[in-house]
Structure 1
Amino acid sequence: MINLPYHSLINIIENLNDGFYLVNCDKKIIYWNKAAENITGFTADEVVGRTCADNLLAHIDKNGKNLCTSSCPMSETIQTRNCHSQMVYLRHKQGFRIPVSVRTSPMVDENDEVIGGVELFTDISNFKANEQRISELKQLAFLDNLTQLGNRHYIEEKLIEQFAQKKRLNKSFGILLMDIDNFKSINDTYGHMIGDEILKSVAGTLINSSRSFDFYGRWGGEEFIGIVNNETLDEMKAMAERIRTLISQSYIIHNQKRLFVTVSIGATIALDDDTPKSLFSRSDKLLYQSKNEGKNLVSVG
Structure 2
Amino acid sequence: MTGAPSHAALLDAMSDGMYVVEPSRLITYWNRAAEAISGFSADDMVGRWCGDGRLNHVNERGVELCGASCPLVATMRDGRPRSVRVFLHHRDGHVRPVHVTAVALRSEDGTISGAVETFRDDSDRRELEQDLREAERLSLVDPLTGVGNRRSLDGCLSRRIADWERHGTRFAALVLDVDRFKQTNDTLGHEAGDAVLMVLARSLAHAVRATDHVVRTGGDEFAVITGPITDDELRSLTARLQVVAAQGRYEDLSPMRITVSIGAATVAVGDDAAALMRRADHQLLRAKRAGRKRDADDATTAP
Q: TM-score, normalised by structure 1?
A: 0.53
**1:279 aligns to what SS in structure 2?**
helix
Which segments of 5 or more consecutive residues in structure 1 lack a partner in the other structure?
A: 1-134
Cα distance in 1 between the residues matched to 2:207 and 2:257: 18
Structure 1 consecutive aligned stretches of length 4 or more whose deviation exceeds 6 Å: none
The equivalent residue for 2:238 is 240
Matched residues, number: 166
Q: 1:290 aligns with which of 287, 291, 301?
A: 287
The equivalent residue for 2:55 is none
Shift of 1:140: 5.3
Aligned positions of 1:211-290 closer than 5 A: 211-254=209-252, 257=254, 259-290=256-287
Provide closer, same or farther for how the CA distance between residues 141 and 300 of structure 1 changes in structure 2, counting only shifts above 3 A. same
**1:171 aligns to what SS in structure 2?**
coil
The equivalent residue for 1:145 is 143
Provide closer, same or farther for how the CA distance between residues 273 and 137 of structure 1 changes in structure 2, counting only shifts above 3 A. farther
Cα distance in 2 between the residues matched to 1:212 and 1:232: 15
Q: Which amino acid aligns with 1:300?
A: D
Q: Which amino acid aligns with 1:225?
A: A
Per-residue CA distance 1:110-139 (angstroms, 9 max, x = gap)? xxxxxxxxxxxxxxxxxxxxxxxxx86853
1:232–1:269 CA contact under 8 A, matched in 2 = no
Shift of 1:169: 1.8
Q: TM-score, normalised by structure 2?
A: 0.52
**2:144 aligns to what SS in structure 1?**
coil
Sequence identity (%): 32
The equivalent residue for 1:202 is 200
Which has the higher relative contact order, 1 or 2, with Cα contacts under 8 A spaced 6 or more apart? 1
The equivalent residue for 2:175 is 177
2:211–2:227 CA contact under 8 A, matched in 1 = yes
Cα distance in 1 between the residues matched to 2:135 and 2:242: 26
Cα distance in 1 between the residues matched to 2:213 and 2:158: 13
More strand by share: 1
Per-residue CA distance 1:161-208 (angstroms, 9 max, x = gap)? 110111112111101110000001110000000000000011010111
Shift of 1:251: 2.5
Aligned positions of 1:146-161 closer than 5 A: 146-161=144-159
Shift of 1:157: 1.2
**2:250 aligns to what SS in structure 1?**
strand
Cα distance in 2 between the residues matched to 1:209 and 1:224: 14
**1:248 aligns to what SS in structure 2?**
helix
1:175–1:267 CA contact under 8 A, matched in 2 = yes
Provide closer, same or farther for how the CA distance between residues 300 and 136 of structure 1 changes in structure 2, counting only shifts above 3 A. farther
Aligned positions of 1:1-301 closer than 5 A: 139=137, 141-254=139-252, 257=254, 259-301=256-298
1:144–1:151 CA contact under 8 A, matched in 2 = yes
